[in-house]
Amino acid sequence: MTRQTSGRAALRWAVSSAGPAVVLLDQTALPHAEVELACADVPALVAAIQRLVVRGAPLLGIAGAYGVALAAARGDDVVAAAGLLAAARPTAVNLASGVEIALDAWRSNGGDPAAPLAAARALEAADAAASAAMAEHGRDLVVGLVPGKARILTHCNTGALVSGGTGTALAVVLALHTADRLDRLWVDETRPLLQGARLTAWEAGRAGVPHAVLADGAAGSLFARGRVDAVLVGADRIAADGSVANKVGTYPLAVLARHHGVPFVVVAPTSTIDPATADGDAIVVEERDGAEVTSYAGAAVAPADTPAYNPAFDVTPPDLVTALVTEVGVIRPLSSESVRSVLPRTARSGATMDS
């Protein structure tokens, strides 16, 4: 079960007299309420994924794997359910790969429903271990890059809410805080759905991390005033050439960081690297309902019928990334060769990894 700092799990498998269910902490209700949503079948889980009840790349992979286990436990058409789950959101590679891992387990065990459940549990445990390793590698990297206490800027939400463990970029921030090497966390609000203001500020507050939320457009003034020492973000898919898809608004931060000579660090498990996606142009970026931009909390903030541009992610080219922190070490610079170096042995050559 993916444990949240409050004690409620971001995701858990439950079996009751009503049958099995994937139970989610409803992230759309945070920070106002901690409510759970029980998904008793795959269509309910797919709808929850699309509404961002459950979100963030690693947790989407775990949710997809548990979704396959749910279909198998119910005696549903597992292959069809896997197809629905994998297609629920296109950008985070972990979703499709988590589904595939559980589906492979089901197939290779003669359709035994226990197999995808065990695979989902193993994936969750592996992600927790990856979180812990990334936290250590990332902490050591930042300590080496920034003398004294660091002022870190982050975007979107990358903590325990998105992971089987403590997360990706936020796990590094927590490790810096524990080591007394964090001055302050700057939290981009992350328009339009406010994952920064609603979720990262919630997690930071619970962990006692000194933090402040800013409007996304205010980041430039922070850099101009010399008040950012490093940017730490997560990723939804890293292409074979090192291009990084992450929450829309990440790329402008990378450009600002380069202009101001500030390190821009991506923290992501190797499960987020997709060697089958050649480069940034090949990454499918989810386009979401324009109403997310033209309204706020259900109230219109633009004239009725105003068209909107609402990509959920953007793509940062590898040359703007100072380093990629993975569970197996830090790679820099980011390139096709260095990305290959952290992938399974078959693809390795010219490793530039330090761990």
Q: Is 216 a catalytic residue?
A: no
Rule CB under 6 A: is residue 246 a binding residue for ligand MRU? Answer: yes
Within 8 A by CB and 6+ apart from 197, the residues are 187, 189, 190, 213
Which of 20/164 has CB closer to ligand MRU? 164
Within 8 A by CB and 6+ apart from 135, the residues are 166, 171, 172, 174, 175
Applying the rule CB under 6 A, the residues between 170 and 199 that interact with ligand MRU are 195
Which strand (E) or helix (H) includes residue 247? strand 244-247
Interface pick for ligand MRU out of 20, 58, 98, 164 (rule CB under 6 A): 58
Determine the size of the site formed for ligand MRU (CB under 6 A).
17
Interface pick for ligand MRU out of 98, 164, 234, 242 (rule CB under 6 A): 234
Q: Is 75 exposed, middle or buried (0-12, 13-18, 19+ CB in 10 A)?
A: exposed
- For residue 145, the tally of other CB atoms under 10 A from its CB is 15
Interface pick for ligand MRU out of 236, 241, 314, 327 (rule CB under 6 A): 236
Which of 52/117 has CB closer to ligand MRU? 52
Applying the rule CB under 6 A, the residues between 117 and 156 that interact with ligand MRU are 156
Q: Is 118 exposed, middle or buried (0-12, 13-18, 19+ CB in 10 A)?
A: middle
- Two tokens, residue 308: 């909107």
Within 8 A by CB and 6+ apart from 70, the residues are 20, 21, 22, 39, 40, 41, 42, 45, 81
Rule CB under 6 A: is residue 52 a binding residue for ligand MRU? Answer: yes
Which of 112/296 has CB closer to ligand MRU? 296
Q: Is 97 exposed, middle or buried (0-12, 13-18, 19+ CB in 10 A)?
A: buried
Within 8 A by CB and 6+ apart from 269, the residues are 58, 127, 130, 131, 134, 168, 326, 327
Picking from 105, 51, 57, 59, the residue whose alpha carbon sits closest to that of residue 82 is 105
Which of 70/172 has CB closer to ligand MRU? 172
Burial 19-57 (b: 16+ CB within 10 A, else e): ebbbbbbbbeebeeeeebbbbbbbebbbebbeebbbbbb
Report the nearest approach of ligand MRU to the CB of residue 133 (Å).
Answer: 14
Which of 195/338 has CB closer to ligand MRU? 195
Rule CB under 6 A: is residue 283 a binding residue for ligand MRU? Answer: no
Q: Which stretch binds ligand MRU (CB under 6 A): 54-62, 253-261, 293-301, 344-352?
A: 54-62
Q: Which stretch binds ligand MRU (CB under 6 A): 10-18, 133-141, 233-241, 295-303?
A: 233-241
Applying the rule CB under 6 A, the residues between 62 and 121 that interact with ligand MRU are 92
Report the nearest approach of ligand MRU to the CB of residue 168 (Å).
Answer: 4
DSSP 345: G
- Integer angstrom CA distances of residue 347 from 227, 332, 343: 40, 18, 6
Interface pick for ligand MRU out of 168, 200, 277, 294 (rule CB under 6 A): 168
Report the nearest approach of ligand MRU to the CB of residue 128 (Å).
Answer: 13
Interface pick for ligand MRU out of 82, 130, 235, 293 (rule CB under 6 A): 235
Which of 55/191 has CB closer to ligand MRU? 55
DSSP 198: I
Catalytic residue among 236, 241, 274, 314: 236
Which of 78/271 has CB closer to ligand MRU? 271
Report the nearest approach of ligand MRU to the CB of residue 345 (Å).
Answer: 25
Binding site for ligand MRU (CB under 6 A): 52, 55-58, 92, 156, 158, 162, 168, 195, 234-236, 246-247, 312
Which residues are tagged catalytic? 236
